[in-house]
Amino acid sequence: MAKLERDTYLTKHVGNFPQTIEIGGRTYVKADDLRYGTNPHQPAAFYRPDGCSGAIMDMKTLKNGKNGLSQTNLEDISGALNIVKYFDRPACAVMKHVNPSGAAVQVGCESLRDVYIKARDCDARAAFGSVIAFNTQVDAETAETIMSTFAECVVAPDFTKEALEIFCDAERFKLNKQIRILQCGKLSTIPRYVGDDPDGINNTVKVLCDGSLVIAAPLLTNVRNFRDLPPAAGESKTAGIQVATTEPTEQQKCDLLAAWYINISVRSNGVVIVKDGQTLAVGTGEQDRVGAVEQAIEKFKQKYTGSATLEGAVMSSDGFFPFADGLEVAAAAGIKAMVAPSGSLKDADVIKRANELGVALRHAPERIFSHH
């Protein structure tokens, strides 16, 4: 058996894939043979729905490297664009292994470089070798900062001429000589909300271990603005009727909405902690809710490299709190506002505890588990 060498990761492994395939009554045309799938021993190909346009299917390579993209690169590009699509203000998402290591949206007069640094500093260690996405044109100042550390790909709707010159300066930035620079298609082609995909073009397909598959509607949200996150309310025999009484600040309202949108692209059980438009920590892939909260807080202590504190931050949870313990752990760390779906038998007990702790608890209209 051949030894796995460094060059293996840079070599294109072409498989025997058909030119067209049919899924759900729709024809998909092979657009490219990828460098490989998730791993070098897995050939892969990229298909686009025939006659359609989209942010990824219309993507242009402005600078290539490593013999093109892998499936992992495309999945990270998809996850990152799936975050920045929600924001009208400049936003950045840093994606690593199909989870955001950080994300940020502009607050006040921050520059795009400031936004990128906020996203990176959530977990600068994980951001090493990541995919970085923006929802606006990338300028030279931002490009210069990105090139100071290793990145796999940068994707955005546009780049200034000066930014492209920096990204292509392999002599000056030897660490990033293989960086891929990609101009995505229109972000408006990516659905945001439930009902935005009437033709089912964004339906997900999951192949199971025996070759059978599941087709499901895409993971979208009903939350279009903060009004769709009402104060939590519930009733139980032990706690009676409970309604959340603590009101979040205006910035916390913005941060709760941002946390919810980012949480959609986090593997469940997942939580996202945000303050002033910046993720401070992302808890991913835990089997229990309180474990996801504990993981996020510990990641903030160990990996966050910015200047913010958890005091006054907000947190999104992709599933309901089955007990008050997850909320209590977050509140003890300084988190003052939270959003989660309802549906727990203990909703009223959790709300009662939130009121006792002075936490503003809001209920979302759906669960957003992601098992990507």
The reply to whether 166 and 245 lie within a common domain is no
- The reply to whether 260 and 356 lie within a common domain is yes
Give the Cα separation of 45 and 49 in Å (integer).
13
234 and 185 co-located in one domain: no
**Distance (Å, rounded) from C-alpha 29 to C-alpha 214?**
21
Residue 14 inside a domain? The answer is no
Count of structural domains within the chain: 2
Mean pLDDT computed over 41-53: 95
| pLDDT score recorded for residue 185 | 97
Residue 300 has pLDDT above 80, yes or no: yes
Q: Which of 116, 84, 81, 86 is nearest to 257 (CA)?
A: 86
- 142: CATH: 3.40.140.20
> Percent of the chain scored above 70 by pLDDT?
99
- What confidence tens digit (pLDDT) does each residue in 50-80 have? 999 999 999 999 999 998 999 999 999 999 9
Cβ-based neighbours of 80, under 8 Å, separated by 6 or more: 93, 94, 95, 100, 131, 132, 133, 155, 265
Locate 212 and state its tokens: 């059978």
- Percent of the chain past pLDDT 90, that is, above it, reads 93
**Residue 205, number of CB atoms within 10 A of its CB:** 10
Answer whether residue 189 shows pLDDT above 90. Answer: yes
**pLDDT of the residue at 7:** 79
In a domain, 285, yes or no: yes
199 found inside a domain:
no
When pLDDT is averaged across residues 189-214 and rounded to a whole number, the result is 95
Look at residue 132 and tell me if it is in a domain. yes
The Cα 286–Cα 215 span in angstroms is 25
Model confidence at 233, pLDDT cuts 50, 70, 90, reads: very high
Q: Average pLDDT, whole number, for the chain? A: 96
pLDDT for the residue numbered 278: 98
Examine the domain organization and report whether 176 and 233 are in the same domain. no
pLDDT for position 13: 82
Whether residues 177 and 230 share a domain: the answer is no
All residues at 6 or more sequence positions from 198 whose CB lies less than 8 Å from its CB, including other chains: none
pTM: 0.96
Mean per-residue pLDDT, 311-316: 98
| Alpha-carbon span 313 to 3, nearest angstrom | 48
Residue 302, classed as helix, strand or coil, is helix
Residues 183 and 230 in one domain: no
Both 184 and 292 in one domain: the answer is: no
**For residue 68, what are the domain limits?**
53-189
Convert the pLDDT of each residue in 120-155 to its tens digit.
Answer: 999 999 999 999 999 999 999 999 999 999 999 999
| Burial zone of 167 (CB within 10 Å; 0-12 exposed, 13-18 middle, 19+ buried) | buried
235 plus 185 within the same structural domain: no
On the question of pLDDT at 217 being above 90, the answer is yes
What's 212-245 look like in SS3?
CEEEECCCCECCCCHHHCCECEEEECCCEEEECC
